[in-house]
Structure 1
Amino acid sequence: MSSSAISNFPITQKWPAQHPERLQLYSLPTPNGVKVSIMLEETGLPYEPHLVSFETNDQMSPEFLSLNPNNKIPAILDPQGPGGKPLALFESGAILLYLADKTGLCIPADAAERYEAIQWLMFQMGGIGPMFGQLGFFHKFAGKAYEDKRPRDRYVAESKRLLGVLNQRLADRQWVMGDSYTIADIAIFPWVRNLVGFYEAADLVGINDYPHVQRALAEFVGRPAVQRGLLIPGR
């Protein structure tokens, strides 16, 4: 399959591929975005990152919408998809699962453990991401001006509950799945990092009440691939 086949995708008109044989990443270094760049760095797959700037509404451009009609980052275009055909994919959780299956890395080989890892991936997608994101809105961004603090307090309470679930899970294991580092960790910990860092909500959620989460977060951030992935794409 010729790598020039991805030139048929309109997104390559706005973000030309300098290395069309590589997987193309369209993203921003946000919690959802860095999930994929970290996974790519962990697996060693060759890829080419492209910055999707929200400041210039790149995510609303016809070219980006042609790849992701939901106008969210990240998205990928893999010239070497299943069957050797190009594959366009959006939703960070789906991309993590695809990259894990493509490489055989960061996901258990055992069928039962594989589904358990996917379970924790969905725990992030359906719980941690949306709840932490809403807390950030009401604590740091436009919502902080609201006199009524009940919305903020709702998301604080739910974030604490989710942290408690995660803390209990990590009480007797290094990573979410035990000794093995998986896509569950890659999905969860960028959001925990964002909560206590960018959202400045460490005191609000009482992060010191979750020592196992703090320990695992420190180990996660200490990984070289994570340190690289957190900066990709460069702003």
Structure 2
Amino acid sequence: MIRAAVVALLAWTAPAWAVDCETTTHDDNSYAICSVDLSTDTLRLFLYDETGGLFGQFGAIERDLRNQGKRLGFAMNAGMYHSDRAPVGHYVEDGKEVMRVIPNAGPGNFGLLPNGVLCIRDARVDVIETLRFVDEAPTCTYATQSGPMLVIDGALHPRFLVDSTSRYIRNGVGTSADGQRAVFAISDSPVTFHEFGRLYRDHLNLPNALFLDGNISRLYAPDLNRSDIGFSLGPIVGTVEAAD
């Protein structure tokens, strides 16, 4: 009787995190996966606070949201950035464009075309290949450009090599065809682009997926007891929930 009461009390006091995060294994590689449902979850990007200062850390975002009676449900780094943490590619926050679209090829992973844009709109989220994004010109409330694309309309990026030796901790995002679900993943150990792309294509069955970054990749997922720390980040993507 006493034990039942204690269990009931713990169940009542434990925070309920709306975003579903779990660990999974594919091709002998372990990943943390967080799924966001746009019908119930509020997904957005974070870069600068209301004073223009850089957030840089999950903890800074959490403190800012707590002051508003809210909390951070889940978060991860959301695209490449310069040394001052300004975004390398297209970036929109709360409808305001911070950085224009970069459509041309260039050095590094970002310029390994095709790359893409994560576009967040009212009750919809999409990973869109950059040239298609330019043609369609969707109005995004939040947007971040990164690259390369991992999966494009169900196909792996054409430059990915099965026998690649380039391995890093990597993180990315994929979206469902109906725009109602975004799935964020971060590897627990170094993986190749080909392995990471296959996670999204073959295991998560998502038609479009985008590489966000590698090596510096970090995750905030309270239900996995993770709040990765390190040097300051640039763009961060996460969900906003009502505080208990």
Structure-1-length-normalised TM-score: 0.27
The structure whose residues are more often strand, as a share, is: 2
The structure whose residues are more often helix, as a share, is: 1
Larger relative CO (CA 8 A, sep 6+): 1 or 2? 2
Structure-2-length-normalised TM-score: 0.26
